[in-house]
């Protein structure tokens, strides 16, 4: 089952869409912005989330 959630890149902090279980997902997805691998627990496809303002993310708030 495909699951989508939103969170910041752990490296460059841009808003990302984490799409789990979709075609093209991988256990070692690369951030589309900084090209660093992001650690995930399920196969995930990363997409830059331009639909949300980056100022909406507060430090630590999305990590819980
Ligand atoms: Zn990044």
Q: How far is CA 10 from the centre of its chain?
A: 9
Q: How confident is the model at residue 49 (pLDDT cuts 50, 70, 90)?
A: confident
**The pLDDT of residue 53 is above 70:** no
Residue 32 Cα to ligand 1 middle (Å): 7
Q: How many whole angstroms separate alpha carbon 35 and alpha carbon 21?
A: 21
Tell me what pLDDT residue 61 has: 52
pTM score: 0.74
Q: From the CA of 48, how far away is ligand 1's center (Å)?
A: 9
Across the chain, what does the average pLDDT equal?
86
Distance 24 CA to ligand 1 centre (A): 18
Q: Region 4-25: what's the mean pLDDT?
A: 96
**How much is the CA Rg of the chain, to the nearest whole Å?**
11
Q: Please state, for a pLDDT cut of 90, what percent of the chain lies above it.
A: 72
């Amino acid at each position: 089952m495909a699951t989508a959630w939103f969170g910041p890149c752990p490296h460059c902090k841009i808003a990302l869409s984490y799409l789990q279980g979709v075609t093209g997902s991988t256990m070692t997805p690369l951030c589309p912005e900084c090209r660093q691998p992001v650690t995930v627990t399920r196969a995930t496809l990363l997409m830059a989330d331009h639909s949300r303002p980056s100022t909406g993310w507060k430090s630590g708030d999305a990590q819980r």
